[in-house]
Amino acid sequence: MAKHVVARTAEIPPGGRKLVTVRGREIGIFNLDGEFFALFNRCPHQGAALCSGEIVSRLESALPGDYRLSRPGEMLRCPWHCWEFDIRTGQSWCEPNSVHARTFPVTTEPLVAETVDVTIAERYVVVTL
Amino acid sequence: MNVIAPERRADLTGQSHLGFIDCDVHPFVKSGEDFDPFLSERWREHRRGIGGRSRQGLGRNSAYPRMSPGNGMRMDAWPKGGGMPGSDLALMQEQLLDLFQVEYGLLAPLVGGAAGERNLDYAAAMAIAVNDWQVAKFCDPDPRLKGSIQITIEHEDAAIAEIERWAGDKRFCQVNIPPRGLEPLGRRRYRKILAACAANGFPISLHLGGTSGHASTGGGWPSFYHEEHPSYVQSMQTLVTSLVCEGTFEEIPDLKVVLVEGGFAWVPALSWRLDQSWKRLKTEAPSLTKAPSEYVHQHFWVTTQPIEEPERPDDMLAILDWIGPDRVMFSTDYPHWDQDDPRYAFKVKLPADWMRMIFRENARALYRLD
Amino acid sequence: MTLTHGAIDCDIHPTVPSARALLPHLEPYWREHLLRRGLERESFDISAYPSGSPLTARPDWRGANGLAATNLAAIQAQLLDPFRPSAAICNVLHGAQMMMSEDLSLALCRGINNWLIAEFLDRDPRLRASITVPIHSAELAAEEVERLAGDPRFVQILLLAMAELPLGRRQMWPLYKVAEKYRLPIGIHAGSSFRHPPSAGGWGSLYLEDYVSYAQGFAGALNSLLAEGVFQKFPDLKVVLIESGVSWLPASLWRIDKTWRGVRSEVPWLAQLPTEIVRDRVRMTLQPFDSPPDRAALARVLDQIGSDDMLLYSSDYPHWQFDGMDVLPDGLPPALLPKILFDNPRATYPRLAALNPVGETTA
């Protein structure tokens, strides 16, 4: 396990994403309102590039005819079979207990680097794997 | 079902799925104008004017909208230069043919609307145009791609003429007939067309689809695509039942039928039910000389997509065993949303000889692809 | 001793011998209505079960008029006495359910229910019945249920798998509301009013094709109930698939589950794996099973169904599903039999829950 700096936080605005490669693995970095999350770019179902999927909301309903939208921008929809995953947890909408997109721990950290302008408190997105 | 993230697995890469024969690939047009070079001026004008008319309320799109743009396309298959998924050969090569070193891809064009067109003269002209277009835009530029002959089954003379036009042409492998037609395919009125397919060495592919004007289910029109999608299987079951019970295969013993894009796990139970019901009702179908399930096994092939995903992955082996692994052929359905990836479609490890049969040998033998 | 002694037979078919037999059981208005139109001379046979078809009645059960199960004596002699069920549920298949006029349909259904009471339920305590309702009018069907719900011998409501509208459609909901209120399961019987061909593939030629298609009809009906959210809207409603065939179910559910994983946002109230809902809320009668040819395959199909609670014993009398006394499909595991024969029916039908087993359900 090691920490990998994958982006400056400013590169990925809220609602945005960046695809990075760490140790040969494609990983999608997502910014949900200032919090960062990392998902393996591979759908657990048939291997599609999950992180290129649409960023969507939770569409839910208690009863027929009742339509509710919640947690806008916090779900990822696979570009192939439309399976939906929670960006925060990797849990599948349909089978949250048994189907997961793989996630990786993410932190944002200030880094001291000689190339960085010391007058700006820049932070970096760091993935652990 | 417990699904884990598939990693690249040593036993899959570079093995059986590479160089497979894909029994269901969809070419699309960038726009209807793509057909114009293959239509006469009279039908070009008709296409631009009144246009296609099938048996449904909406003129162009479906009353059961799919869940992704383009009437249900894989989201990553839209060509950067514009046009529909499947309309750009280079992208099809990149995402399918080259990626998996596909040996042959069997085209199933769902364009032009010839099969369900109500104006039969326009339908016949459009069937010819779609066939010429397939050859010009796909089969000739990439000889791995093999065409499926489009016909309009309600116009017998034109259908037979079109089948005969391509007889002996190795660029075409089969004749495509959608399962949702005015009447089930075993009905006597279609017999000459089926005989022409067999006489010219073409299997029939019953590729899911068609607009018959009949309700999607025997109990009427459902509300949701969630029901419409599986209901296509019911039409396919009607046609299997019809072809078997009407004695079609006694009359045309060389007829071979491929079920495309309907999945396949339902075939064993349908065979059991056919046999069980026939046991009591055989006097009504005197032309049958053996149990219905035997006709199913001898005359039908299935393609895999959309592959069933049994709760216990192991049940897939039983299903394949019950159907017979010699009758199952892999298909992706590229570029539809529900297409299958040859690396991950089967959630259980198949015996090596089954892999060879399903991914290559069955299709090679059926379509005489050498 | 027969294995079925004490069992609950969840599907038998008394046959209305002629419309004339219904006349005493109709309201005066409708009696005269029938007579003015000469309808007492008509058979009201349904195309889904032609009376002469070999499947419709076992040859040794047909009476002198060619029909079977037209009177209590026949049912007693051929079914109740030899197979010794503790209870048997009468499902009447009759054109009454599908007349184009909703009012005429209701009037005839009422006549059938009254006929059932007078000719069968009042005369043999082993018999129960499903309420015959006009299948194309949920409001009138609900009215008939209200009329009879106080009679505990009526244990479910009878529909056909294929009618004008898929069974989950909201137009059907007034019926499901009253069904839930009285804890009456919805019994969906094989067949069609043939307002539509058996699938979008069109009209076939043979009755054999139609009979095979009834399983497809159930698949469509079940998908409709699931997608429309009937099981969420009516959390206490149970559904029994009668004479549906059994072995088609697993593959059909795999397909629905697969569709659901990608398409569920179209029907967001469907928030649970469809297979799980079906195992919880749907039951199937045993005959016909449409068994695979060998026992190992049968065992696997039962495993695929994945619940010991779903199957309900039925003879399907007088339909010709078996010969002699071989009412149970070959190869059912003995350990499952007590559930199929007695426990599952009792758990499915609240009005049979208090029925005591005679203690001899298995040999």
Residue B11 has pLDDT above 70, yes or no: no
Cβ contacts from A onto C, under 8 A: 42
**More reliable by pLDDT, B2 or C299:** C299
pLDDT of the residue at B61: 87
Which residue of C lies nearest to A63 if distances are taken between CA atoms?
C269
Which residue of A lies nearest to B75 if distances are taken between CA atoms?
A79
Q: What are phi and psi of C239, to 5 degrees?
A: -125, 135
Structure token pair of residue B249: 């295969």
Q: How many Å lie between the alpha carbon of C209 and the closest alpha carbon of chain A?
A: 34
Sequence-separated (6 or more) residues with CB below 8 Å from residue C310: C279, C282, C283, C284, C344
Of the listed ranges B52-61, B94-103, B160-169, C307-316, the least confidently predicted one is B52-61
Distance CA B273, CA C245 (A): 8
Residue B141 has pLDDT above 70, yes or no: yes
Cβ contacts from B onto C, under 8 A: 266
Q: How confident is the model at residue B337 (pLDDT cuts 50, 70, 90)?
A: very high
Is the bond preceding residue B143 a cis peptide, omega within 30 degrees?
no
Distance CA B313, CA B310 (A): 5
Chain A residues touching residue B5 (CB < 8 angstroms): 40, 42, 44, 100-102
Contact yes or no for A48 and B76 at CB 8 A: yes
Mutate to test the interface with B, among A25, A41, A46, A93 (most CBs of B within 10 A): A46
- In the stretch 2-61 of chain C, residues with CB closer than 8 A to chain B read 53-55
Contact yes or no for C200 and B310 at CB 8 A: no
Nearest to A59 among C230, C261, C268 (CB): C268
Nearest to B339 among A49, A80, A99 (CB): A80
A28 touches chain B (CB under 8 A): no
Count the Cβ atoms, other than its own, within 10 Å of residue B19: 14
C287 touches chain B (CB under 8 A): no
Domains of chain A and any CATH numbers: 3-128 (2.102.10.10)
Would you say C258 and B306 are in contact if contact means Cβ atoms under 8 Å apart? yes
Nearest to A67 among C264, C268, C271 (CB): C268
Is 0.90 topped by the overall pTM?
yes
CA atoms within 13 A on the CB side of C299: 7
Structure token pair of residue A80: 């192939």
B10 touches chain A (CB under 8 A): no
Q: What are phi and psi of C268, to 5 degrees?
A: -65, -15
Q: For strand C154-162 and strand A123-128, is the pairing parallel, antiparallel, or unpaired?
A: unpaired
Distance CA A69, CA B324 (A): 46
Q: How many Å lie between the alpha carbon of C84 and the closest alpha carbon of chain A?
A: 44
Distance CA A123, CA B270 (A): 62
Can you give the residue ranges of every domain in chain C? 8-351
Q: How many residues does chain C have?
A: 363
Nearest to C202 among B182, B276, B319 (CB): B182
- In the stretch 143-182 of chain B, residues with CB closer than 8 A to chain C read 179-182
Which residue of B lies nearest to A45 if distances are taken between CA atoms?
B3
Q: Is A110 exposed, middle or buried (0-12, 13-18, 19+ CB in 10 A)?
A: exposed
Distance CA C252, CA C246 (A): 11
Nearest to A63 among C260, C269, C273 (CB): C269
Nearest to B3 among A40, A54, A99 (CB): A99
3-state secondary structure chain C: CCCCCCCEEEEECCCCCCHHHHHHHCCHHHHHHHHHHCHHHCCCCCCCCCCCCCCCCCHHHECCCCCECCCHHHHHHHHHHHHCCCEEEECCCCHHHHCCCHHHHHHHHHHHHHHHHHHHHCCCCCEEEEEECCCCCHHHHHHHHHHHCCCCCEEEEEEEEECCCCCCCHHHHHHHHHHHHCCCCEEEEEEECCCCCCECCCCCCCHHHHHHHHHHHHHHHHHHHHHCCHHHHCCCCCEEEECCCCCCHHHHHHHHHHHHHHHHHHCCCCCCCHHHHHHHHEEEECCCCCCCCCHHHHHHHHHHHCCCCCEECCCCCCCCCCCCCCCCCCCCCHHHHHHHHHHHHHHHCHHHCCCCCCCCCCC
> Residue range B144-148: average pLDDT?
98
pLDDT of the residue at C110: 98
Would you say C262 and B67 are in contact if contact means Cβ atoms under 8 Å apart? yes
Contact yes or no for A64 and C232 at CB 8 A: yes
Q: How confident is the model at residue B177 (pLDDT cuts 50, 70, 90)?
A: very high
Chain A residues touching residue B345 (CB < 8 angstroms): 46
Contact yes or no for B2 and A98 at CB 8 A: yes
B230 touches chain C (CB under 8 A): yes
What would the pLDDT profile of B201-230 be if each residue is shown by its tens digit? 999 999 999 999 999 999 999 999 999 999
Residue B164 has pLDDT above 90, yes or no: yes
Residue B180 has pLDDT above 90, yes or no: yes
Q: Is B266 exposed, middle or buried (0-12, 13-18, 19+ CB in 10 A)?
A: buried
Distance CA C171, CA C165 (A): 8
pLDDT < 70 regions, chain A: 112-121
Contact yes or no for A101 and B5 at CB 8 A: yes
Contact yes or no for C201 and B221 at CB 8 A: no
Nearest to A53 among B1, B75, B338 (CB): B75
C77 touches chain B (CB under 8 A): no
Mutate to test the interface with A, among C265, C272, C275 (most CBs of A within 10 A): C265
* Distance (Å) of CA B173 to CA B102, B148, B180, C243, C293: 16, 6, 21, 42, 35
pLDDT of the residue at B16: 55
Chain C residues touching residue B270 (CB < 8 angstroms): 212, 215, 248
Nearest to A46 among B1, B76, B344 (CB): B344
Chains that touch A (3 or more CB pairs under 8 A): B, C
Contact yes or no for B225 and C263 at CB 8 A: yes
Indicate left, alpha or beta for C308 from its phi (over 0: left) and psi (-120 to 50: alpha): alpha
Would you say C161 and C215 are in contact if contact means Cβ atoms under 8 Å apart? no
B296 touches chain C (CB under 8 A): no
Which residue of B lies nearest to C220 if distances are taken between CA atoms?
B217
Cβ contacts from A onto B, under 8 A: 54
Please name every residue paired with A106 in a beta bridge, in sequence order, or none if there are none. Answer: A127
In CATH, the architecture of B21-367 is Alpha-Beta Barrel (3.20)
Distance CA C271, CA C260 (A): 9
CB-based burial, C178-198: b 16+ in 10 Å, e otherwise: bbbebbbbbbbbbbbbbbbbb
Chain A residues touching residue B1 (CB < 8 angstroms): 95, 98-99
pLDDT of the residue at B2: 42
For C8-351, CATH gives 3.20.20.140
Residue with tokens 């350990």: C335
Distance CA B277, CA C288 (A): 9
A96 touches chain B (CB under 8 A): no
What would the pLDDT profile of B69-109 be if each residue is shown by its tens digit? 999 999 999 999 999 999 999 999 999 999 999 999 999 99
What would the pLDDT profile of B341-363 be if each residue is shown by its tens digit? 999 999 999 999 999 999 999 99
Would you say C239 and C186 are in contact if contact means Cβ atoms under 8 Å apart? yes
pLDDT of the residue at B9: 43
Q: How many Å lie between the alpha carbon of A83 and the closest alpha carbon of chain C?
A: 5
Percent of chain B at pLDDT above 90?
Answer: 94
Would you say B305 and B331 are in contact if contact means Cβ atoms under 8 Å apart? yes
Q: Is C177 exposed, middle or buried (0-12, 13-18, 19+ CB in 10 A)?
A: middle
Contact yes or no for A81 and B3 at CB 8 A: no
- Residuewise pLDDT in 10s, chain C (363 residues): 578 999 999 999 999 999 999 999 999 999 999 999 999 999 999 999 999 999 999 999 999 999 999 999 999 999 999 999 999 999 999 999 999 999 999 999 999 999 999 999 999 999 999 999 999 999 999 999 999 999 999 999 999 999 999 999 999 999 999 999 999 999 999 999 999 999 999 999 999 999 999 999 999 999 999 999 999 999 999 999 999 999 999 999 999 999 999 999 999 999 999 999 999 999 999 999 999 999 999 999 999 999 999 999 999 999 999 999 999 999 999 999 999 999 999 999 999 998 876 644 333
